[in-house]
Structure 1
Amino acid sequence: METKETLALVQGQAQIWQQMIGSVDSMALKCAVELRIADIIHSHGGPITLRQIASGIDSTSPNIPYLARIMRLLVCKNIFTEQHQPVDSGEETLYGLNQASRLLLHDAELSLAPMVLLRNHPWLLAPLHWLSQCVKEGGTAFNKAHGCEIWDFTSKNPEFNNIFNDGMACTTKIVMRVILAEYKDGFGCVGSLVDVAGGTGGTIAEIVKAHKHMRGINFDLPHVVATAPMHEGVSHFGGDMFESIPNADAILIKWVLHNWSDEHCIKILENCRKAIPEKSGKVIIVDIVVEKDGNDLFDETRMVFDLTMMAYTAGGKERTELEWKKLLEEAGFGRYKIIKIPAIQSIIEAYPN
């Protein structure tokens, strides 16, 4: 009969082992994306055998036993489905898609495949090895690993810039679908909207498309908007959010503030406040709100995101409601409201009075 001490030791081992080899789960997921396994299954219109998957891989001699072991783990992790059907020699296994693996399809409207490749790229994994050094002496893990900050690295490395932009774009599509469904009333009375750090304007274009009455302004650095395509109802405006922001009825700032320190965020938010009407204006922040003791599907992921911000940025972090409240008050926003949506991020409405 097991003693309490023995059981606790076994449970402790299981927990540490699970965390210790968790990176292998990520690598198996990356492998599935690189081999386009979800796309191969999808192209057949239903569950298929291991050999059929292998025949669709871009290789003249795929290693089927290796593939079988990878699929076994991904089925165990509920990324793919598995079913058995009888054949003359016994039975064969068929692998199919579920809601998770459909998000790995490369050409699907909603796909996380580019983000899987980004998050598991050696360039983004390297800084995570420097976390303990950051605790000891401060600094940015990304800088320690690569000799410069992430934004400098991105601007000097076209390959990484493309991977980064693709990863950001795919998550934007998913969260924008949620926002347009859950927050449609929030845009209803907004005549003009500025998307701060809006990139090439995809986000504001989606909002204006759904709200024809609205005038959209896509605001980003001059070299970013210089290559932005034209979108109906949207004008591009180049500038620096730390200097000033174009005037509008409301301002959207989506997944931007978590990249910056409190001091930087206060400056950005102060400029947002100056750009909107004192009595009727609002700032719409789309960002993570960390809850330590929450029971949401994404709670643990949000805390992991906080460590990635610590690793990749100089001062960026995911914030609790109390931390958001402090930022907003210091930037001159007397009221705020948090709207939870079925996504990693929440919507924070901030009002100047």
Structure 2
Amino acid sequence: MASGMQHKNAISTATEGLIQAQLELYHHSLGYVKSAALRAAAELGIPDAIHRHGGVATLSDIATETGIHPSKYSHLRRLMHTLTVTGIFSVEGYDDDAGYKLTLVSSVLVEGGESMCNLSPMVPLLVELLKLTMLFDIKVWFTDEQASAMTLFEVAHGCTPSEMKAKKGTGGIFQAAMVADTNLVMEVVLKEHMGIFKGVNSLVDAGGAHGAAAAAISKALPHVKCTVLDLPHVIAGAPTSRDVQFVAGDVFEYIPPADAILLKWILCIWRDEDAVKVLRRCKEAIPAGGKVIIFDGVVDSGASQNVILKETQVLFDIMMMGIDGVERDEQQWKKMFVEAGFGDYKISPVGHRSIIEVYP
């Protein structure tokens, strides 16, 4: 009898494991649906609609504010249900009386919110059909000899991301997203990590695009002379500024001298050998007491228990793989710093990225 019960329990455990495996497999496979639902909410302006209603809005309020067609009211309910289950919004009450509220996540998708940081331009950049379809060609890229000589993006779309932006005229979307990201990052950095600019009287934001980071530094620290260096076609679209000087150039060839060189979220787009070339140019540009300030990812080595942090970092790494870029761990960063001729560094984590101060 005992052996029969043990056999029955073993079968039960085995079938429970199968069902759990199926559940987890489907959950992972449907991850793109979560992303698409988030993009729909951002594009429809649902966070703004809730914000305009004082932070609580019914389905009827949201439908009216966002111009949703009456025939789609029941589908809006389903979308909002998904977005509350996944943590984008919260809800109190039931049916037509349910009140939807912003969460920490959706609060940064609001125009004119409390922090004045609106990340909604980042959502369509991250949740983009071109990026999704690019990832469907990983098998070909890994196994086909001809494809292996190209980037994953080129395999999927037949051109580089820059060429695609020029073809579709989406460069403005990219720049708006980068400005949104920079505004939030700099708000945090200038409140919590102001010490990184101690002793800095001049700074060059290398690859700084339209100068959002330099403008924030200049506003907070008027004594710091801020310069932005980027490619001529990028600088051509930059706004005029009395506080920030814009210089057209190539970070691989020359970086103007300054006490500090800022590299925000750009080294990840290059392979190690190219990133080292840029770091060497930075070393040439700074004095003996100067430094390079890097805002970029430092992939967690396993010490952190924050699953969302770990997953976000490795997901970014897969995205960077599409353009032959890479997200690096501390040892990979250290190896590059040594190759570029630097002697020391300091890492301060800030969300999924870190501030890395590198010294000659």
Q: TM-score, normalised by structure 1?
A: 0.92
1:153 is aligned to: 164
Identity %: 40
8 Å Cα contact 1:197/1:256 also seen in 2: yes
Structure 1 segment 100-115 matched on structure 2, within 5 A: 100-108=105-113, 109-115=116-122
Q: Aligned in 2, Cα 1:335/1:5: closer, same or farther, shift over 3 Å?
A: same
Q: Secondary structure at the match of 1:3?
A: helix
2:358 is aligned to: 350
What is the CA distance between 1:59 and its match in structure 2? 4.2
In 2, Cα distance between equivalents of 1:62 and 1:261: 50
Q: Secondary structure at the match of 2:101?
A: strand
1:19 is aligned to: 28
Residues 323-350 of structure 1: CA deviation (Å, up to 9, x unaligned): 0011111011121111122x22101111
Structure 1 segment 1-353 matched on structure 2, within 5 A: 3-84=12-93, 92-108=97-113, 109-137=116-144, 138=148, 139-158=150-169, 160-277=170-287, 279-293=288-302, 294-296=304-306, 297-311=308-322, 313=323, 315-341=324-350, 343-352=351-360
8 Å Cα contact 2:49/2:57 also seen in 1: no
Q: Which has the higher contact order (CA 8 A, sep 6+)?
A: 1
In 2, Cα distance between equivalents of 1:91 and 1:155: 46
8 Å Cα contact 1:36/1:106 also seen in 2: no
Report the more deviating stretch, 195-204 or 129-138: 129-138
Gaps of 5+ in 1: none
In 2, Cα distance between equivalents of 1:140 and 1:262: 15
Q: Secondary structure at the match of 2:70?
A: coil
What is the CA distance between 1:114 and its match in structure 2? 1.2
8 Å Cα contact 2:56/2:100 also seen in 1: yes
Report the more deviating stretch, 322-331 or 232-241: 232-241
User: Counterpart of 2:359 in structure 1: which amino acid?
Assistant: Y
Aligned length: 343
User: Counterpart of 1:93 in structure 2: which amino acid?
Assistant: A
Gaps of 5+ in 2: 1-8
In 2, Cα distance between equivalents of 1:199 and 1:247: 18
What is the CA distance between 1:60 and its match in structure 2? 4.6
In 2, Cα distance between equivalents of 1:116 and 1:62: 26
Report the more deviating stretch, 62-71 or 118-127: 118-127
In 2, Cα distance between equivalents of 1:24 and 1:226: 38
Measured on the aligned residues, the alpha-carbon RMSD in Å equals 1.8
Residues 142-181 of structure 1: CA deviation (Å, up to 9, x unaligned): 11122111122223331x2122222222111111112112
Residues 221-260 of structure 1: CA deviation (Å, up to 9, x unaligned): 1222233223343211111111111011110001000000
Q: Aligned in 2, Cα 1:27/1:218: closer, same or farther, shift over 3 Å?
A: same
User: Counterpart of 1:140 in structure 2: which amino acid?
Assistant: T
8 Å Cα contact 1:130/1:141 also seen in 2: yes
8 Å Cα contact 1:193/1:214 also seen in 2: yes
User: Counterpart of 1:102 in structure 2: which amino acid?
Assistant: S
8 Å Cα contact 1:194/1:217 also seen in 2: yes
8 Å Cα contact 2:270/2:325 also seen in 1: yes
What is the CA distance between 1:39 and its match in structure 2? 1.3
Q: Aligned in 2, Cα 1:62/1:37: closer, same or farther, shift over 3 Å?
A: farther
What is the CA distance between 1:295 and its match in structure 2? 2.2
In 2, Cα distance between equivalents of 1:269 and 1:252: 11
Report the more deviating stretch, 332-341 or 63-72: 332-341
What is the CA distance between 1:126 and its match in structure 2? 1.9
Q: Aligned in 2, Cα 1:336/1:91: closer, same or farther, shift over 3 Å?
A: closer
In 2, Cα distance between equivalents of 1:134 and 1:36: 37
User: Counterpart of 1:78 in structure 2: which amino acid?
Assistant: G
Q: Aligned in 2, Cα 1:91/1:274: closer, same or farther, shift over 3 Å?
A: closer
Report the more deviating stretch, 323-332 or 1-10: 1-10
In 2, Cα distance between equivalents of 1:292 and 1:276: 31
